[in-house]
Amino acid sequence: MSDKAKDTVYIDVDEEITGIIDKVKESDKKVIALVLPKRASVFQSIVNLKLLKRSAEKEGKNIVLITSESSVLPIAGAVGLHVAKTLQSKPEIPAHPDSGMDYDSNDDMDVEDNHDIDNEEIKDKPVGELAAASGLAAEKIHRSEDIDDTIDIGDEMQDDATGKGLKESKSKGKKNNKDKNLKVPNFTKFRKILVIGGIVIVALIVLFLIFGSLFNKATINISTKTEPVTANLTLNLDTTAKSLNVSTSTVPAIAQTTTKSSTASVPTTGQINNGNKATGSVSLTVACSAKPPTIPSGTGLSSNGIAFTTQKNITLTNCNCSSSNCLFSGDVTVIAVTGGANGNLVSGSTFTVSGQQYAGYSGTSSAAFTGGTDNMVNAVSQTDINSATQKISGQDTSAIKQTLKGQLVQAGLVPIVSTFSTGATTTSASPTLGSIGNNVTVTESIIYTMLGVQQSYLDTLVNKNINSQINDVQQTIIDNGVKSAQYTSVQANATTAQVTMQDTGYVGANLNKQDIKGQIAGKKTADVKSIINAYPGVNNVTVKLFPFWVNSVPNNQNKIVINITKS
């Protein structure tokens, strides 16, 4: 018989009967040799062997148990299963435990379809021939020519005494329909599900524990009873100071400056006469002296409030004496400074010479002045320039203050807004004063300054003031109020300022965060609240743990955050 007619199945010591039955059903061979391990408890039950035999018969298969254990043999005999000591041994049905004797050669074994096989015949046959005999009996074929070479249960094929083996029938018998009412539980599959489920649950528990230990943290919010304490100080801010002087409250300051150029335009209100200028000749006289005087061109003269200037240099050389005095004299051409008919003077008009050095000089027109005409036009006056300048001074400077404040904050300083001051101012007008024009534009460049100081200096002065008002053993400063303090400048400039500081701080229970962390590390919520509430001045305590399944504060103090608030 070839390997196609038989199958060898090795059984594990802890294998269930349902798994063995499944292997028998899955096999496509007529004879199945089950190699049993030692102490296979599943084969110690007559119920299990009956289930095994019934399942094999319904599948049209024969079972041979390969074992030598004495505890299995009587049970196999009671059920009617063939047994062989080794894969090369001849199979036989062991003696029934109630018979008190072994089966002899005359015992028969029922096979599928109720065909008999002589026990004498199968006693000396290997399992391979038993498979062939089963198949032939089931198919009612008893021809020697259909028998292939004989086989043992072992891994190698062997010929029988005749040299011919049984060949598996070419036509397979129909398998009996399975009993639908017989359902054997698959305990192996159920056990696998339980094992996998247990592994998953353990893995989740481990993940939760790992996550909790790595990322756990605690936030402790402590609300304390606080009371306000007012601190009023006078500060001397100085940009030249190098360090804080607590005794004099002199605080080093930084001046932040910015230059802002602003413009304003106004209509001109001044007027000038843009007509032709009058001209004429003036005879100048002065007392004679040792050296004749010289009057340069451009020297100013005036008559009846009208200004004139000389048009050339003149030296007074003629010294004429009268009964009362001697005078140098000389004639010079002059022209009016501005146009207008009012410069047309009559002959004999008197003139004075401008300048201290020309005291005692006098002048007289020898003929009438002519050529002056009137043409009134708008021009820039000082009043117009002042009006435009006033307009610039009234502009809003809040944006400039915000700019300086932001620059000081960015530099890490506390801006003292009340020290905002205006520095040097540069003003220019276009067109210039006296120039003809209907409008004048004034440009004014102003330097603005604001002082700022380091907060640490303010903290030092305020804390000193507050601590002098409280018992610093039982109480501590919760908030010194520096960030919300109000400042009023007494006087301020670009380098110094004297300001008054009004500050309201809050004091409460003296709590040391680091000491509290050491006391509550590793404690549960109830214990944490009990420890902190024991401090005087504590109003309320809340504990927040992360993640949610953590029920105690971390042992690592770096993972503990304590917030203290006033109430």
**Per-residue pLDDT at 152 exceeds 80:** no
**Per-residue pLDDT at 403 exceeds 90:** yes
Contact partners, residue 283, CB within 8 Å, separation at least 6: 329, 330, 331, 363, 364, 365, 366
Q: Which of 179-188, 422-431, 541-550 is predicted least confidently?
A: 179-188
Mean pLDDT of the chain: 81
Q: What is the pLDDT confidence band of residue 99, given thresholds at 50, 70 and 90?
A: low
Q: What is the pLDDT confidence band of residue 489, given thresholds at 50, 70 and 90?
A: confident
Domain ranges of the chain: 3-177, 185-213, 275-374
**Per-residue pLDDT at 256 exceeds 50:** yes
Rounded CA separation 104/33 (Å): 22
Which pTM does this prediction carry?
0.42
Helix residue ranges, H only, 59-169: 73-79, 119-123, 127-138
pLDDT, residue 153, reads 41
Residue 471, SS3 per DSSP: coil
pLDDT, residue 329, reads 87
Rounded CA separation 441/164 (Å): 133
**Per-residue pLDDT at 139 exceeds 70:** no
- Which of 186-195, 222-231, 245-254 is the most confident on average? 245-254
Kindly give the pairing relationship between strand 376-379 and strand 294-295: unpaired
Residues 562, 563, 566, 567, Cα dihedral to 10°:
-90
pLDDT in tens, 51-72: 989 988 988 889 999 998 888 8
Q: 275-374: which CATH topology? A: Elongation Factor Tu (Ef-tu); domain 3 (2.40.30)
pLDDT in tens, 259-287: 888 888 999 988 888 899 999 999 998 98
Rounded CA separation 253/449 (Å): 12
- Asked if residue 151 lies in contact with residue 6, where contact means CB atoms within 8 angstroms, the answer is yes
Contact partners, residue 224, CB within 8 Å, separation at least 6: 478, 508, 509, 511, 537, 538, 539, 564, 565, 566, 567
Q: Which residues pair with 264 in a beta bridge?
A: 442
Q: Which of 115-124, 173-182, 437-446 is predicted least confidently?
A: 115-124
